Amino acid sequence: MTELVRVERRGTVAIVTLDRPERMNALSWATVQRLGEVGRELSAEPSVRLCVLTGAGDKAFCAGADLKERQGMSREQVRDMLSAYRSELAWLATAELLTVAAINGVALGGGLELALTCDLRIAVAGASLGLPETSLGIIPGAGGTQRIARLLGQARALDLVLTGRRIDTQEALSLGLLDRVLPAGEDLLESTLAWLKPVADGAPIAQRAALLAVRAARTLPLEQGLDYERELYERCLTSADRDEALLAIAEKRKPRFTGK
Ligand code: COA
């Protein structure tokens, strides 16, 4: 049996790989539970700043719910699964580390919902994305309807959710569903790490404050958001890393951040 989900640490980065290529990295009950465990482990490690979520192989990031397993599930088990999506995958949006979906192939149904739960999305040029659930007599049930509407606006969300159509990466990029598409010939993981190197190597207090401030804009009214930004700025202002950055500029050298 494969490990379902592999975790590799590279300094401040955790690379989390869905590892069921024979099932297009589909989300089985055990995979979702394992993702939850991984989330709890990473959330408890303050040294982790960036989590890259990707899929094994070059065909699929994740083909959504494991439809073979789903066939043998009772309605009650499906209800439990929907609750598990919510409890076990939420860390991708709430843990105090930046999460990025590195989409290496198809991202369909729950696979796209998983990517939507992450803060950012990058994909290889040949990937395709879609929420085909309505064609299966259901709707996205891992937060997809809510997250895609918040990300793209209601009309674009209705288009994708109600038609269930699959789109290519160029369309996904123009809609804002993807943040980046990889130029041909580049390695997905290495490009993702190069793109987000300033996060992985940056001043930890400022990085965390920036992440929390921007995420809060999704839910807080503006005045409260501005108060929160001010509170987070204070954490940076009183940090040794802020003093070090000013000194480094004066001394014309790179700053050495310590996270204090
Ligand atoms: N759950 C479980 N197994 C899946 C799966 C899923 N969601 N998607 C694909 N697989 C399995 C296939 O059954 C097949 O295994 P088998 O040969 O043992 O039967 C294997 O992965 C390869 O899939 P295949 O369809 O032969 O590959 P493909 O390259 O032609 O197509 C997909 C890949 C992902 C486009 C296609 O399999 C597909 O549309 N899957 C369903 C996706 C979906 O509707 N997800 C939303 C669920 S709500």
Q: In angstroms, what is the span from residue 142 Cα to ligand 1's centroid?
A: 19
Residue 185 pLDDT more than 90? no
Contacts of 136 (CB under 8 A, 6+ apart): none
Segment 159-183 shows an average pLDDT of 98
- DSSP tag of 136: G
pLDDT of residue 2: 62
- Average pLDDT over all residues of the chain: 97
3 state SS of 103: strand
How far apart CA 36 and CA 45 sit, in angstroms, is 15
3 state SS of 201: helix
Pair 85, 116: CB distance under 8 Å: no
3 state SS of 180: strand
Helices 204-216 and 240-250: crossing angle in degrees, nearest 10, is: 120
Show the tokens assigned to 120: 């950012």
> Ligand 1 pocket, 114 CB below 6 A?
no
Read off the pLDDT of residues 83-133 as tens digits, 9 standing for 90 and up. Answer: 999 999 999 999 999 999 999 999 999 999 999 999 999 999 999 999 999
The preferred substitution site among 2, 23, 24 for testing ligand 1, maximizing ligand atoms within 8 Å of CB, is: 24
pLDDT of residue 175: 98
How far apart CA 141 and CA 76 sit, in angstroms, is 14
Pair 106, 128: CB distance under 8 Å: yes
pLDDT of residue 184: 84
Residue 37 pLDDT more than 80? yes
Pair 102, 52: CB distance under 8 Å: yes
For residue 62, which of 120, 17, 2 has the smallest C-alpha distance?
Answer: 17
- φ and ψ at 108, to 5 degrees? -120, 145
Segment 9-19 shows an average pLDDT of 98
- Total count of residues recorded for the chain: 260
Atom of ligand 1 nearest to the CA of 67: 1
Residue 170 pLDDT more than 90? yes
pLDDT of residue 12: 97
Show the tokens assigned to 229: 């930004």
Element (H, E) at 57: none
Q: In angstroms, what is the span from residue 106 Cα to ligand 1's centroid?
A: 10
Helices 29-43 and 75-89: crossing angle in degrees, nearest 10, is: 20
Pair 129, 172: CB distance under 8 Å: yes
Contacts of 157 (CB under 8 A, 6+ apart): 145, 148, 149, 151
Going by pLDDT thresholds of 50, 70 and 90, the confidence category of residue 230 is: very high
Residue ranges in the chain assigned as alpha helix (H)? 29-43, 67-71, 75-89, 91-94, 110-117, 144-152, 154-163, 169-175, 188-195, 197-201, 204-216, 222-237, 240-250
Of the chain, the percentage scoring pLDDT greater than 90 comes to 98
pLDDT of residue 78: 98
- φ and ψ at 10, to 5 degrees? -130, 95
The residues annotated as belonging to the active site are: 65, 110, 113, 133
pLDDT of residue 49: 97
Q: In angstroms, what is the span from residue 96 Cα to ligand 1's centroid?
A: 33
Element (H, E) at 53: strand 50-55
Segment 38-49 shows an average pLDDT of 97
Residue 1 pLDDT more than 80? no
Show the tokens assigned to 170: 């160029």
